[in-house]
Structures are given as structure tokens and as C-alpha cells.
Structure 1
């Protein structure tokens, strides 16, 4: 099941995580091109600074939204201090609430219920706040479909890096081979559930590794990426935006197939590829994404 074009996160390529108590970094995030800016209240914010981060949330989220970015916040699980996080940040009207370490659908049902209460308290349109579960363990991956179905607010899910590696008991490498199967399995689960799959962040600093990581992600079908290094936002956006050459090829495939169909044929050939109904529809989707992203970039300039 492809991600619906009606999904409000369908065109969001990069989900950029910023330390929740670092006001300078939170404001500087607007200088980059991250599609979704995430105030991170979990691992990137020491427990002692979480009250400070919560106090910043309202102003930061409003500024991000006013600048045309999707404003998001990642809260801690309810088993720790997630209730305090959520109560504080909802006054800032985040468009997306992420929760870390999700393994059970019941976590999402509770989060949905509490968001509904807080939307009413703050005069926010009912149901407008989206939820993005962060899947960080093997158990979360194998339960991904049922987690995705726990709330109509869930339009995307993200798979983790470091916590997933730790849960698997694997070694961490720049090549990331230890995560190939979890990332592939997660993508499959999200496709089956009809939600946007957000790939795990590349957590090393080097540009070459970030490029290789994105090549793998794009080759298996990811259209969105978690990012923790500001220098990697542009890399991810480049791989997740159809290139002009891709759009031109798609146009030729569409034209060839439609011409063949008018002649009573069910396939056409373009550059050695047989274009049938599935590849024709994929070419149409690529063109639509290309045009929508081009239009959005024009508005940001």
C-alpha cells in the first residue's frame, strides 16, 4: 500500500532532530532546509535540562510554524517523564508529536487520548495533531503494523539507529550492515500499513558515510529520513528529491505508455525498460512528487 498523497507528511523528506534545551540551535535550524524540525526532549536533552526545554517549546514551535516548517517535538515515554513533556509542549501547538521507545499499541492509544484532551484545553482543532511513533527495538519492528493502526493520527513512523543496534546486540559500523534487515523490514511494515516510513539517522559525522547511507536508503524505497547532523540535511534532501533527469525519464515513460495504450497495446519500451501499468503509475507518482517539491522549494526562496 503506497503512502497516500493525502497524507500531510507525504512530502516531508527530512525530520531534523535538535537538542531541546539549546535555544541557539533550535533557532539556527531555520537556516537549513529541514522539512520537519523536531525539538528533541529525550536523548539530546539531559534530564536536568528538560524543564528548560519545555519552557522553550511554545515560542520555538510557533516560530518554526510561522516560517513554514512542520513543527514537531519528541517526548519521552510515559513510563519516564512523557506526561510532563506532553502537558508542556501542547500549548505550542506542535503539528507532530513523536514518542521514543514505542513497542506497544497501547502506548499510542494513551497518547492519542491525552492529545485529544489537550487539544480541547488549548483550542486546537480536534484530531489535527499527528503522532509519529519512534520504533527503537526489535519488538517494536515486528509489531509495527499494529502500532500504526492504533490511532488515525499516525501517518508516519521512524526507525531508530543506536537503540536498535543496542537491542540487537550488534556492533556499530559506518557501513551500517547491522541495520540493513531492520531498516528493510520496517519499510515493508510501513508500506503494508500505508504510513510514511522514516529511515534511521546516520549517526557518524562524515559526509562520505552519509552519502553511502542515503544511497542504500533510497535504493530500497525510503522517501523520508531522520537527521541528527545539520550537515546531512542537504544530503538527505538531495537523494529524496527526484532529479530533473528522473522527471524527464518519467515523462518519456508516461508518453510512451499512453501512446501505446491508444494503439491497443498494454506495454511500451523506453531505454530498454518495458513500461507496463505498474511502472506507468510509478512514473506518474514520481512526476507528481517532483512537481510538488519544486513548487514548495520555489515558495521557500
Structure 2
């Protein structure tokens, strides 16, 4: 494939789905403090509304109306009657990424990237693959490594639960192995991994608990179904003040002890891996701070 630019690091704490057929929602999204938007042409759009939604979403993604938010477009799945036209329109609009449902193999990725490039997708437009089927989980590593244009996995936890004949339960025990597998593959390939949605928009306590779980597991952020979930996701997936202070202290001790052999900080031994983690914490903190500036 043709070489393309790697986008600078962008926080993806809160990734909000917005229906592409709802003009009011597209307008409202301009003022929502999420890190990224997924302008949706799939589940939230009725079949007879898809052509008009495609036009509206392409115009929105191609504008400068959304400020610092990463604007992406979710097209309809491979094999549907709308997919090809969606992919062409999205590629020509040049969003931050094109989100594709039910990607199931490395061959799918190769075909999508080829189609994006044929349609004229600019170098900055990444592919985000939705991982939401058993076959995608089992083939996650080959999918993650299939193309340099692949920038993220987006977990489709509702579809995954359905396809496993599992149940939605607090703590997500039935799908934890699948979530871990996707995370392992994403980290091995060096791409972002975004957690699935929390369905009950009125259950704030449950939502925040799932955000905390996702952060502890290692997700970069969470997909959201309601603007009211943005603030909680932003807080959950940003380093705390204490974490930032600890990172600075650890890095300072490491730099002061350069060449000393053994470095300790706050009573514990510091190794290079701890320093790398601390630097990542500060990089996230600085990027989040810049977004709010």
C-alpha cells in the first residue's frame, strides 16, 4: 500500500456515536467535549434514510466545524447494499478515520484499505476496525497487523455478547477473555483499542464502574451512546493528579540517579519499564491538557 502519514497522538477517552440521519444531533455534536465522534451510517440510520445521511455525514466530516475533536465515519458493513457507496463517500470526505463494522480477517482489512485508496482517501484517514464477532477475536492479531493504515480496534460488545449467546452482566465476566484478546492484539500491533458501549444511559454508577474497569484493563477510552456519558469517560481515562505527580517524581528520581546503578523512589526500586510507563502517563496528561486549552 502507499505510504501514509501517522497522525499525532490524540486522546480517545470519549468516542461518541452520533446518528448521521439526525441533523440536530450533528449540529449538537459541535459543542460536546468528547475526544472523538463516530458519525454513524449503520445501526442508527433507517434503510430509506441512508443515502441522505451519507451525504450529510460526508459534508460534516469534511468541514472544520468540529474543532479539535477527531471526526470519524462509521459505514455500513462489508457485503451490505450500502457499503461500497458509504466507503467512497467517507474516503472522499477525508475524516480522521473510517469505522467499519464486523471486520473479520486480515483479508477484509486489505480489501478495505485498497478500496479507501482507490476512492482517494487522504493519508491522514485511518481505518478503525470493529471487533465484534468470535472469528474476529480469534484472528485479532492478524487483523491488527494487516495494514499500517489500521489505527484502532473498536470493541462491539453488544454484538459480541449476542454472537456468544452470553448475557450482559455487571463486571462483563462472559466476555472478559475476548476483551483481553483484543487488547493483546492491539498492543502487539501498536494500535489504539477502544472499549465498547454501556447501554443503560441512566445507570451512572454502572457506567462509571465499567469505565474504571476499562481503564484498569488498558483500553484507551470508551465508545459512548449518549452525551451525558462524556464527562465520566473523560475523567476515567485521564491520568489523575496523583498519577501525574507520581510520574514526574519517578522520572525525576531516575534522571537524578543516572549512572548510579540502582535507583529508588518512594521506597521502591525503579527500572526502565517504570520510567516508560511514567512518560506515557505524562504524554497523555499533556495531550489532554492541550485539548482543554
Name the TM-score, length of structure 1 as normaliser.
Answer: 0.89
Structure 1 position 112 matched with structure 2 position 113 = yes
CA distance change for structure 1 residues 132 and 33 in 2, over 3 Å: closer, same or farther?
same
Q: Please state which structure has a larger fraction of its residues in helix.
A: 1
The whole-number CA distance in structure 2 between the counterparts of 1:27 and 1:231 is 16
User: Within 5 Å, which residues of 2 pair with 1:16-31?
Assistant: 16-31=16-31
Output the CA distance in 2 between the equivalents of 1:186 and 1:134.
11
- The residue that corresponds to 1:90 in the other structure is 91
Distance 1:149 1:252 in 2: 36
Aligned residues: 286
Residue 102 of structure 1 is matched in structure 2 by 103
* TM-score normalised per structure 2: 0.91
Q: 1:65 to 1:108 in 2, by over 3 A?
A: farther
Partner of 1:163: 159
Deviation at 1:75, TM superposition (A): 0.8
Runs of 5+ consecutive residues of structure 1 not aligned to the other structure: 1-5
Instruction: Please name the residue that 1:151 is paired with.
Output: 147
* Higher alpha-carbon deviation: 174-183 or 90-99: 174-183
Matching of residue 208 in structure 1 with residue 205 in structure 2:
yes
Contact 2:262 2:269 in 1 (8 A): no
3-state SS of 1:241 partner:
coil
The answer to whether the Cα contact below 8 Å between 2:75 and 2:98 also exists between their aligned partners in 1 is yes
Equivalent residue in structure 2 for 1:289, among 267, 284, 292: 284
Q: Establish whether residue 221 from structure 1 lines up as the match of residue 222 from structure 2.
A: no
1:249 and 2:246 equivalent?
yes
**Counterparts of 1:167 and 1:9, CA distance in 2:** 33
Matched, 1:62 2:62: yes
Matches within 5 A, 1:166-185: 166-185=162-181
CA-atom RMSD, angstroms? 1.8
- Among candidates 137, 151, 158, match of residue 141 of structure 1: 137
Separation in 1, partners of 2:9, 2:224 = 16
CA distance in 2 between counterparts of 1:8 and 1:158 reads: 19
Does 211-220 or 238-247 show the bigger shift?
238-247
For 1:18-72, what per-residue CA distance to the aligned partner results, in whole angstroms no more than 9, with x for missing partners?
1121111121112211111111111111222111211212321134555232121
Matched ranges for 1:27-46 at <5 A:
27-46=27-46
Shift of 1:9: 5.1
Q: Secondary structure at the match of 1:261?
A: coil
Distance 2:235 2:193 in 1: 18
Alignment of 1:70-85 (within 5 A): 70-80=70-80, 81-85=82-86
| Cα distance change, pair 33–155 in 1 and its aligned pair in 2 (3 A) | same
- 1:216-238 CA distance string (max 9 Å, x none): 11112112221112111111111
Q: What's the secondary structure of 2:149's corresponding residue?
A: coil
Gaps of 5+ in 2: 1-5
Match of 1:3 in 2: none
Structure-2 separation of matches of 1:101 and 1:116: 20
Contact 2:30 2:66 (C-alpha < 8 Å) held by counterparts: no
Evaluate the alpha carbon distance shift between residue 9 and residue 40 of structure 1 in structure 2; reply closer, same or farther with a 3 A threshold: farther
Counterparts of 1:141 and 1:65 in 2: how far apart (Å)? 36
> 1:87·1:118 contact (CA, 8 Å) conserved in 2?
yes
